[in-house]
Structure 1
């Protein structure tokens, strides 16, 4: 380097220097207005202060969007929780155990706008054997239900449970909820299956959360336990 040449610094060296000397702009405040940067909103030049203000406004907009999304999800979750509570209360008030599968299906259709719902049970008490909700279940379907440790959500792939729905040809996506007593694991045999079907292929998507569906399965399992206790009629 010749004696009359100024040293050349790269971007990292400049950045390191500013980080080591945080009071630089306090001592050289005039640079905040003299340094010109390209605006993010067009070709015009803006001062360093104006560019920083633009960045801050953008961060604030992003944060506001995230907060709005969190509020929306919170409101949706509260609404779903309220519907599950109302549906559960209705199940608790059913006097005739025989009508529980129908009340469960009707309640899910009404509260959650599920187009089609079906309930199938096995291992029921004697007075309930032969009722419609105990028919047409193969051993393979029972084994499949017992293998599920969480609700299945996805496209209609021709599973046997789809045929239990009133209009199976219209179903594009479905959710399969195992009914079992005790822990929701493959070591606890299922005693039934709750099937939710929709003509919307995205209604029950494989990527959707299943927490609320698990709550529905648990509530339905608890209510339908009355059909397994061996007491008929108004049990």
Structure 2
């Protein structure tokens, strides 16, 4: 049988080196003589230099990831602080009828969202004439209940956009259903809007918006309860 019938392949060589870890210990001179492309131009470098260069690139990539993780962590801390301040304002709101206004004011100023509006239905009769409880069609209520997660994207002629102070400036919106408890029918809808068409988009995460909706829905349950004193 001639050698050409079963020529040695690159895989054979790779397998040999992988399974013979002491090869370069017995032939240490090869490490100094092997020349490889530097990866940056046509310059040739030794195997050790190439490995060192690859390690530097790997370390650089890891450093970039660490910086990104730190930045995201700092952003999350800032968001958590804003959420806590907003929640404290809701807890400190003595009159139930003031809650929707307090929510909107806190969202637009605390989270730097240009426009926001809230509508609530099924409220106690003493609140039925308030602006936050009027002007909502049955279709809007049904739509809110159909949302399992907040809608984020362009304004496609949603009724809720007309609740905003400047509907024409709402180029991207978030629609957040408000529920008194998980799994319940929606009893309100929070709309956020921006003139930036990319501020709210279909690919964005909605965890923060969901938490915002859960807190708002729980707080607004006071509007449906029978008040024990002056509303």
TM range, smaller chain: over 0.9
Equivalent position of 1:162 in the other structure: 161
- TM (normalized to structure 2)? 0.94
Counterpart pick for 1:226 among 202, 222, 225:
222
**Deviation by residue 1:178-235 (Cα, 9 ceiling, x = unmatched):** 111111x4xx211100100011111111111111111111111121111111328744
Residue matched to 1:201: 197
Instruction: Provide the residue aligned with 1:20 in structure 2.
Output: 19
Q: Is the CA contact (8 Å cut-off) linking 2:180 and 2:217 kept in structure 1?
A: yes
The number of residue pairs the alignment matches comes to 230
| Map of 2:129 onto structure 1 | 130
Q: Tell me, which stretches of 5 or more residues in structure 2 are unaligned?
A: none
Does the aligned pair in 1 maintain the 2:180–2:220 contact within 8 Å?
no
Higher relative contact order (CA 8 A, sep 6+): 1
Q: Residues 77-226 of structure 1 correspond to what in structure 2 (within 5 A)?
A: 77-183=76-182, 185=183, 188-226=184-222
Q: Under a length normalisation based on structure 1, what TM-score does the superposition of the two structures give? A: 0.93
Q: 1:70 to 1:141 in 2, by over 3 A?
A: same
Distance in 1 separating the partners of 2:82 and 2:11:
57
Q: Counterpart in 1 of 2:28?
A: 29
The 1:9/1:90 distance shift into structure 2, 3 A limit, reads same
